Amino acid sequence: MEPGGKETLTVAGFATLAFLALRRWVPRTDALHGAQELGSLRKPAVWGMMLVAALGVASIFAVYTFISPFAWRLNPGSRI
């Protein structure tokens, strides 16, 4: 099934409802500022963990890409 205008508007509606609910029920606080959050990017350990996470996600995509042709060859009639 190809997504059309109706599905797109439904997803946009749910996203709008979620945004409004978050604005309504999440308390405002001055405890954290954006500059403080971004300041953690100065630490090499943070960059190292981001690199490890990126390589982990990329490796999963690489494995699925490599295995996919073999899986389809073993069971060609099982299209999802």
Classify residue 22 by burial, with Cβ atoms within 10 Å: 0-12, 13-18, 19+. exposed
Total residues found in the chain within this entry = 80
Quickly list DSSP for 13-37.
Answer: HHHHHHHHHHHHHSPP-SS--HHHH
pLDDT digits (tens, 9 = 90+) for 26-77: 887 776 666 777 888 899 999 999 999 999 999 998 888 888 787 777 777 7
pTM, 2 dp: 0.47
pLDDT digits (tens, 9 = 90+) for 6-16: 888 999 999 99
